[in-house]
């Protein structure tokens, strides 16, 4: 016969309430007591009734992940799926489930409000691609536990978590300067809307200015086709020829490789290439691309950890960076 919560409480020498809090990772129970009760639960083969536990907590056991799931999004933003995997695995370990929902930036406020009314989930994790001032205002005034993946580009009191893209830019610049590169061209997306690349550029500027150096920035739309044009523009510059092309994503880097091949220029002998973001192509090209990578799986796990804490402690707030970017050195530099 399976052990009950009463058996577990008696074996641990604590109250049933303490056992319940420990099993639900409640902040009011010490880590030492939690570990002792969890160990006893495993030894006694205690299996809590998930439906009864959710009913007792008045919770659904579900966290929503909401983003714009348009066609080809997996190719445009492969990082999002690494984030979702990290969220899902962490929630699963805590007996929660992640439910994926589609919403556009325009309909997100109304869609999330309806989800709240229907009590579909205990909390929401929202991708910054669908964040708007209207949605931020709604989240600020409602008690829904939430977290935005990505730093908002406007001032707000809502909770968010992001990679430190400025730090990533600093790491990239330090690496290239240490390698002896001095004539860099940075290829990025739209000057007004590509906020991530702008933050990376800001970090690079700080490092180059410390060395009394400058670099050229070329703006496009972050696609392969745009990369072909930007690479041609970079290589036809009448001033100092670039010794390194730094690309904000793999699509631009792939385009640069193609243009260099057509011009019979060798990488890295004639011109080196480096890219932000390791996925999806950096390790598959010839030569393989040196990349600045952030662990997006880890970021997803940290997001899930935070949202579960906020469900228990609604007053909890965060506006922080997590996951330290790292350099993966390959043949292209």
Q: How far is residue 312's CA from residue 206's CA, in Å, rounded to a whole number?
A: 41
- For range 303-317, the mean pLDDT: 92
Q: Does domain 165-293 have CATH number 3.40.50.2300?
A: yes
**Could you give the angle at which helices 165-178 and 195-210 cross, rounded to 10 degrees?**
40
Q: Per-residue pLDDT tens for 60-97?
A: 688 999 999 988 887 777 788 899 999 999 999 988 99
pLDDT of residue 59: 64
- Provide mean pLDDT across the span 263-276: 96
Residue 136: asked if its preceding bond is cis (omega within 30°), the reply is no
Res. 51: pLDDT tops 50: no
pLDDT at 288 over 90: yes
Average pLDDT over all residues of the chain: 88
Q: Where in the chain is the domain with CATH 3.40.50.2300?
A: 62-163+296-323, 165-293
pLDDT surpasses 90 at 114: no
CATH code of 5-48, in short, is 1.10.260.40
CATH C-level class of 62-163+296-323: alpha beta
Residue 50 Cα to chain centre, angstroms:
30
Residue 55: the pLDDT is: 43
Where in the chain do CATH 1.10.260.40 domains reside? 5-48
Mark residue 100 as left, alpha or beta (left: phi above 0; alpha: psi -120 to 50; beta: remaining).
beta
Mean pLDDT, residues 262-280 taken together: 93
In this structure, of 42-56, 150-164, 248-262, 265-279, the range with the lowest mean pLDDT score is 42-56
Q: Would you say 97 and 61 are in contact if contact means Cβ atoms under 8 Å apart?
A: yes
| Per-residue burial over 127-153, b = 16 or more CB atoms within 10 Å of its CB, e = otherwise | bbbbbeeebbebbeeeebbbbbbbbbe
Three-state DSSP class for residue 219: strand
Q: Are the C-beta atoms of residues 155 and 189 closer than 8 Å to each other?
A: no
Confidence of residue 1 (pLDDT cuts 50, 70, 90): low
The answer to whether 243 and 218 are in contact (CB under 8 A) is no
Per-residue pLDDT at 175? 96
pLDDT at residue 58 in the model: 53
Is the predicted pLDDT of residue 153 greater than 70, yes or no? yes
Whether the per-residue pLDDT at 52 is higher than 60: the answer is no
Residue predicted with more confidence, 193 or 232: 232
Residue with tokens 């056991």: 61
Q: What mean pLDDT comes out for the span 8-28?
A: 80
CA-CA distance, 160 to 113, in Å (whole number)? 19
- Structure-block tokens of residue 149: 């993946």
The rounded distance, in Å, linking the Cα atoms of 304 and 293 is: 21
């Amino acid at each position: 016969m399976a052990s009950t919560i009463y058996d577990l409480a008696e074996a641990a020498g604590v109250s049933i309430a303490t056992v319940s809090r420990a099993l639900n990772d409640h902040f009011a129970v010490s880590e030492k007591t939690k570990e002792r009760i969890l160990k006893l639960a495993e030894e006694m083969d205690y299996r809590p009734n998930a439906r009864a536990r959710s009913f007792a907590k008045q919770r659904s056991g579900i966290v929503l992940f909401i983003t714009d799931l348009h066609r080809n999004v997996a190719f445009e933003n492969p990082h999002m799926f690494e984030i979702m995997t990290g969220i899902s695995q962490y929630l699963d370990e805590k007996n929660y489930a992640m439910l994926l929902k589609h919403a556009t930036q325009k309909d997100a406020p109304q869609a999330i409000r309806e989800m709240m009314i229907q009590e579909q989930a205990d909390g929401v994790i929202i991708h910054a691609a669908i964040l708007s001032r209207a949605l931020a205002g709604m989240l600020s005034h409602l008690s829904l536990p939430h977290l935005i993946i990505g730093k908002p580009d406007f001032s707000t009191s809502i909770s968010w978590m992001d990679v430190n893209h400025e730090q990533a830019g600093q790491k990239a610049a330090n690496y290239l300067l240490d390698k002896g590169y001095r004539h860099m061209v940075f290829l990025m997306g739209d000057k007004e809307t590509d906020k991530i690349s702008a933050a990376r550029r800001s970090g690079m500027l700080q490092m180059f200015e410390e060395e009394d150096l400058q670099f050229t920035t070329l703006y496009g739309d972050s696609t392969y086709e745009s990369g072909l044009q930007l690479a041609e523009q970079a290589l036809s510059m009448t001033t100092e020829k670039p010794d390194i092309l730094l690309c904000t994503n793999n699509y631009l880097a792939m385009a640069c490789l193609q243009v260099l091949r057509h011009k019979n220029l060798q990488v890295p002998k004639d011109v080196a290439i480096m890219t932000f973001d390791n996925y999806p192509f950096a390790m598959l090209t010839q030569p393989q691309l040196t990349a600045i990578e952030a662990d997006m799986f880890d970021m997803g796990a940290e997001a899930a950890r935070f949202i579960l804490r906020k469900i228990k402690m609604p007053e909890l707030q965060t506006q922080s960076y997590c996951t330290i970017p790292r350099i993966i050195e390959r043949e292209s530099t």
